[in-house]
Amino acid sequence: MSMNSEKLNLILFGPPAAGKGTQAKQLVADHDLVQLSTGDMLRAAVKSGSDLGERVKMIMERGDLVSDEIVIALIEDQIERNPDAAGFIFDGFPRTVPQAEALDATLTSRGMAIDSVIRLKVDDAALMERIRVRFAEQGRKDDNPESFAIRLGNYNKQTAPLLPYYVAQGKLVEVDGMQSIESVSTQVRTVLETIKATKVPRKKGFFARLFGG
């Protein structure tokens, strides 16, 4: 049995500004998982002025999605670089069906799988209010009203179709993202404990069957 099956891999799923990054950071602090945020990686590339950064800057600022090829390569590179991680939290990835298929393929080839997809549910009015505040406070270019409308549209067109993909795999768990950060964290933590609890007995069962214990 591959040790990799013990790793805990989660996707934080939801529209832009749903609170995925905030919750991911909390999970990293609590569970020793590695956060893989394609948004953070791409913003770092833009900031560094690398070739990649130059290629994606305008696309991101106007609120469009960067190509699947680019983000899949970023994610594969990070999985490769973190062989000892207890698991990964994917945040902002996958955002399209081809990205989800590539993620499944790359995890499978390493003896891993996604355990759960945690969907943060937040309604559009609340998202727009959060972004209005964030734009005023941080001035992130893609938080301006025009770009944000495009991001929300792209989420509905290209990312929301991933919901049936993960429902079909039996992996989707929904969390009410409209509540306070603390309350959302509590809900996410409960999901995580449930997943951990179901992973361990399965393993014990396996050994019990092997050794009659």
Contact region with ligand ADP (CB under 6 A), list: 64-72, 118-126, 172-180, 191-199: 64-72
Which CB atom, from 181 or from 208, has the smaller least distance to ligand ADP?
181
Annotate each residue in 73-92 with x if it binds ligand ADP (CB under 6 A) or - if it does not, as one string. -------------------x
Question: Among 60, 103, 118, 173, which residue interacts with ligand ADP (rule: CB under 6 A)?
Answer: 60
Indicate the SS3 state at residue 35.
strand
CA angle 162/8/159 to nearest 5° reads 15
Q: Can you tell me the distance from the alpha carbon of 32 to that of 50, in angstroms, rounded to the nearest whole number?
A: 30
Residue 7 touching ligand ADP (CB under 6 A): no
Where do the DSSP E strands lie in 74-209?
88-91, 116-121, 172-176
Contact 16/152 with Cβ under 8 angstroms?
yes
Least distance (Å) between residue 31 CB and ligand ADP? 21
Among 191, 169, 156, 204, residue whose Cα is nearest residue 31 = 191
Which residues of this protein are in contact with ligand ADP, per CB under 6 A? 16-17, 20, 38-39, 42, 59-60, 63-66, 71, 92-93, 95, 99, 142, 151
Catalytic residues: 20, 95, 134, 140, 151
